[in-house]
Amino acid sequence: MKREDIIDGLKGGAIIAISSAPFAILFGAVAVDNGLSVLDAAIMSATVYAGASQLVGIELFDHHVAPWLIVLSVFAVNFRHILYSAALTRFITHFSPVQKFFAFFLLTDPQFAESVKRGEDGRGVSFEWYLGFGLSIYFPWLFFSTVGAWFGSMMGDPRTLAIDVLLPTYFMGLVLGFRRRSGFYPVVLASTLGSIAAYHFVGSPWHVSIGAAVGVAVAALLPLPASEPEPMAEKAEA
Amino acid sequence: MSEVLNPEMLLLIFAAAVATFLTRVGGYVLITRMKTIPPRMEQALNAVPAAVLTTLVAPAFFNGGWDVKIAMSVALLVSLRYPGLIMLAAGWAAAMASRHLLGF
């Protein structure tokens, strides 16, 4: 059973590792292009371990944004993990505190999705499975970021290979991924107008925080959906 | 770009790592303490990722040259039907084509 769980975890994680490898390579290459060393990129992948926020972080770093704003943006991009850890809690009550520490460190989008699936269909979330799944994503992520950074440092002008286009395109893909959320279009429109206006009248890097603030303010002011919002605790138990 | 470690960069990376870990453990801490999140606050929090990311996309598009505009438009169209990686490849191919073949 335990052995099976480990193998199951390693297998499931390997699939995710392969599909996220291009993003890890992209991160490494762009990180070096934006002024990080190969070692910096590797340390970032090893300690932050959250692809989209790593890319946001290095993009802002290149814009010479104030450090606290970079950290805040990383926090903002990772904000969804708060909802993940809230919803995951009920499946991992049997973990020891040390196991919980590692579980939360390794909590990524696929890790969350797979854990909930296992928890709900009765297979259960054993620590062996969780760790097997998590580590078979973690180490390839680290490895491929380093490979990407190393290739990035060998490359000349990033424009020749169109590396500079990858990041905004990737972010656009992430934005589009939210398009089924309620309030998506007004929020994106507000952030677009806010960031463009701030870019012209205030200047970079402030367009990021101003544009984001406009979008979030619009979201807060939008009419609430008709259904009564459920309390968080109930949602986690549902 | 030296391989010598820059302490400021390291500090920044570790701060980002701590911020990320806080989000990953935060829900667990909150759920044991808090019963409800005000609905407007939840709605605002849900909008944070799209709002932040849009500010990285829109200026890149509007301030970019024709090569960037073509690449991102192609990617946008492709993303309506295909997953992220194919979108990224299409955008990249369009950028390469507009730079090396069309000469933007």
Give tens-digit pLDDT for B73-103.
Answer: 999 999 999 987 899 899 999 999 999 998 7
pLDDT score for A132: 97
Residues A8, A13, A19: CA angle, nearest 5 degrees: 140
User: ipTM strictly over 0.85?
Assistant: no
CA–CA distance, A18 with A87 (Å, rounded to integer): 26
CA dist list (Å): A71 to A53, A65, A171, A192: 10, 10, 18, 22
pLDDT in tens, A171-224: 898 889 888 888 999 999 999 999 999 999 988 777 887 898 899 899 999 998
The verdict on a CB contact (< 8 Å) between B12 and A71 is: yes
Closest CA to A202 of A65, A75, A17: A65
Contacts of B61 in chain A (CB under 8 A): 168, 172
Contacts of B7 in chain A (CB under 8 A): none
The verdict on a CB contact (< 8 Å) between A40 and B60 is: no
- DSSP of A120-157: HTTS---HHHHHHHHHHHHHHHHHHHHHHHHHHHH---
pLDDT score for A43: 97
pLDDT score for B1: 46
At A50, list the tokens: 């959250």
The type of residue at B54 is: T
Percent of chain A scoring above 70 in pLDDT: 93
pLDDT score for B67: 93
Question: How does residue A1 score in pLDDT terms, banded at 50, 70 and 90?
Answer: low
CA–CA distance, A145 with A42 (Å, rounded to integer): 6
What is the average pLDDT value for chain B, to the nearest integer? 87
The verdict on a CB contact (< 8 Å) between B91 and A165 is: yes
Question: How does residue B35 score in pLDDT terms, banded at 50, 70 and 90?
Answer: low
Among A40-49, A117-126, B22-31, which range has the highest average pLDDT? A40-49
A218 versus A226: which is more confidently predicted? A218
The verdict on a CB contact (< 8 Å) between B31 and A232 is: yes
Average pLDDT of span A59-76: 86
What is the average pLDDT value for chain A, to the nearest integer? 87
Q: How many CB atoms lie within 10 A of CB A214?
A: 23
Q: Where are the beta strands (DSSP E) in A18-154?
A: none
Statement: residue A232 has pLDDT above 60 = no
Q: How many CB atoms lie within 10 A of CB B73?
A: 13
The verdict on a CB contact (< 8 Å) between B21 and A105 is: yes
Tell whether B101 is within 8 A of chain A (Cβ).
Answer: no
Nearest to A183 among B35, B47, B88 (CB): B47
Contacts of B72 in chain A (CB under 8 A): 165, 168-169, 172
The verdict on a CB contact (< 8 Å) between B56 and A72 is: no
Asked if omega into A205 is within 30° of 0 (cis), the reply is: yes
The verdict on a CB contact (< 8 Å) between A79 and B45 is: yes
Tokens 């762009």 belong to: A30
Tell whether B20 is within 8 A of chain A (Cβ).
Answer: yes
Contacts of A180 in chain B (CB under 8 A): none
Helix (H) / strand (E) containing B102: none
CA–CA distance, B74 with B94 (Å, rounded to integer): 7
pLDDT in tens, B37-79: 678 877 887 787 788 889 889 999 999 999 999 999 999 999 9
- Counted across chains A and B, CB pairs separated by less than 8 A come out at 277
Closest CA to B60 of A152, A24, A195, A175: A195
Query: What does R_g of chain A's alpha carbons equal in angstroms?
Result: 20
pLDDT in tens, A98-122: 999 999 999 998 898 889 889 988 8
- Asked whether B66 and B104 are in contact (CB, 8 A), the reply is yes
- Rounded to a whole number, what is the distance in Å from the CA of B82 to chain A's nearest CA? 11
